[in-house]
């Protein structure tokens, strides 16, 4: 699964343009004993300057994963291909997760193909710039956390994996209660509501927090070492650039409408030449890129697992839709990836006992629409 998906990603963009790879330069700085970056191309943006030194405001997990590759190949290492490999690994983990979720081999295989080629995962993997790799790393560690939730349920491993997802994109932290409650439910001995508050649940909560402690400690140390404040991630400085001229703050309810418009209602643009449909750089409705994910709503909400997966999804969305930015030069709505590990399980559960005709039609439509997104992403240089 890993080799096949990665090979197909590579075949769809073999040029490997390797355009923006901030994380590679961060890893290179660490390997040279620095916490500030240097030697990067002059056209790179989104750096911040503090005390005369250039730093990255991006969360550190992608750079941590890149360290051994940058140690061997230096800054010439192609992060574009690395992104494809991470996305291929995610597809393999998705396959294992769906099997553990008990949807059956056929639905697990179809769900994995949908995950890899019927969502914006495909576009994100083959473009593979700094911002998309962060989403792919979120997926990687959320999938690892969910694999343990649906497996042996070792709370400290779930917490550690979820912590490194947070160190990929901090906004996913809001889903922590949903993930922990799902863990407590899947391994409870009681069936009543008290299963979330008994001694086993409390012990799991402590171990979950212990697992979170390592990645959180890495973040706090990096912040203190760079900026003299353990709670300063660099986004405060970045906001001076991003928020220039903005009427509202970093988070505000006024931004909810723009996210809802892009994620649900934004349509394709008509183009006079083949293939006639063209995506907007602002984004595109999830319904018009991955209609097969509508099967998530078919999952029975009488199942506590389904309800808790929806809770994790909703908590993730709660940290995204009041955010001032909905993405740019993207195909679809890339913030979907922060919740996709939960949604793909819901969709796979919803596929059970449904007719194969509509399901296959929507799955094939999703793959074709995302292939069109990959085409335009390459053509427009996104």
pLDDT tens by residue, 83-131: 999 999 999 999 999 999 999 999 999 999 999 999 999 999 999 999 9
pLDDT of residue 77: 98
pTM (2 decimals)? Answer: 0.96
- Whether residue 355 is predicted with pLDDT greater than 80 in this model: the reply is no
Residue 343 in this model has a pLDDT that exceeds 80: yes
pLDDT at 241: 76
Among 189-193, 274-278, 284-288, the range of highest mean pLDDT: 284-288
Per-residue pLDDT at 190 exceeds 90:
no
DSSP state of 268: P
Q: Region 58-84: what's the mean pLDDT? A: 98
298/335 Cα distance (integer angstroms): 22
Collapsing DSSP to helix, strand or coil, 221 comes out as helix
- Compute CA 378 distance to the chain's CA centroid, rounded to the nearest angstrom: 21
Q: Rounded distance, CA 376 to CA 257, Å?
A: 26
Q: In whole numbers, what is the pLDDT of the chain averaged over residues?
A: 95
CB of 185 within 8 A of CB of 179? no
Summary count for the chain: helices (H), strands (E): 15, 4
List Cβ<8 Å contacts ≥24 apart for 257-262. Answer: 258/326, 259/320, 259/321, 259/323, 259/326, 259/335, 260/321, 262/326, 262/327, 262/333
Of 51-60, 236-245, 304-313, 317-326, minimum mean pLDDT range: 236-245
Q: What is residue 134's predicted lDDT score, i.e. its pLDDT?
A: 98
**94 — phi, psi (to 5°)?**
-60, -45
Lowest mean pLDDT among 42-51, 162-171, 280-289: 42-51
Is the pLDDT reported for residue 258 higher than 90?
yes
Q: What percent of the chain has pLDDT over 70?
A: 100
pLDDT tens across 206-253, in order? 999 999 999 999 999 999 999 999 999 988 788 777 777 778 888 899
Average pLDDT over residues 293-320: 97
Residue 74 in this model has a pLDDT that exceeds 80 = yes
pLDDT interval class at 359 (50, 70, 90): very high
Distance from CA of residue 359 to its chain's centroid? 25
Give the range among 118-122, 135-139, 273-277 with minimum mean pLDDT. 273-277
Separation CA 282–CA 122 (nearest Å): 18
């Amino acid at each position: 699964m890993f080799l096949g998906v990665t090979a197909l990603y590579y075949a769809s963009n073999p040029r490997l343009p390797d355009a923006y790879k901030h994380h590679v330069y961060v890893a290179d700085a660490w390997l040279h004993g620095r916490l500030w970056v240097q030697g990067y191309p002059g056209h790179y943006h989104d750096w911040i300057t503090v005390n005369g030194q250039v730093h990255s405001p991006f969360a550190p997990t992608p750079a941590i994963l890149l360290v051994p590759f940058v140690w061997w190949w230096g800054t010439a290492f192609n992060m574009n291909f690395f992104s494809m490999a991470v996305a291929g690994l995610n597809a393999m983990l998705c396959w294992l997760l769906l099997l553990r979720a008990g949807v059956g081999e056929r639905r697990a295989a179809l769900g994995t193909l949908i995950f890899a080629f019927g969502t914006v995962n495909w576009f994100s993997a083959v473009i593979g710039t700094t911002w998309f790799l962060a989403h792919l790393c979120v997926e990687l560690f959320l999938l690892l956390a969910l694999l343990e939730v649906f497996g042996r349920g070792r709370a400290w491993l779930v917490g550690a994996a979820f912590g490194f997802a947070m160190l990929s994109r901090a906004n996913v932290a809001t889903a922590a209660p949903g993930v922990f409650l799902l863990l407590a439910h899947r391994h409870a001995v009681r069936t009543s509501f008290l299963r979330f508050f008994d001694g086993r649940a409390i012990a799991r909560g402590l171990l979950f927090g212990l697992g979170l402690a390592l990645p959180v400690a890495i973040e706090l140390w990096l912040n203190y070492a760079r900026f003299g404040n353990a709670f300063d991630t660099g986004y405060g400085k970045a906001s001076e650039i991003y928020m220039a001229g903005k009427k509202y703050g970093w988070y505000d309810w006024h931004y909810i409408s723009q996210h809802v418009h892009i994620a649900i209602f934004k349509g394709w643009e008509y183009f006079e030449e083949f293939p006639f449909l063209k995506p907007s750089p602002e984004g595109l409705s999830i319904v018009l890129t991955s209609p097969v994910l509508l099967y998530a709503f078919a999952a029975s909400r009488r199942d506590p697992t389904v309800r808790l997966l929806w809770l994790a999804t909703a908590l993730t969305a709660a940290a995204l839709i009041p955010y001032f930015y909905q993405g740019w030069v993207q195909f679809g709505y890339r913030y979907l990836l922060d919740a996709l590990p939960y949604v793909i399980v819901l969709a796979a559960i919803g596929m059970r006992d449904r007719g194969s005709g509509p399901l296959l039609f929507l799955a094939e439509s999703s793959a074709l629409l995302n292939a069109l997104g990959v085409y335009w992403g390459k053509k427009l240089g996104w």
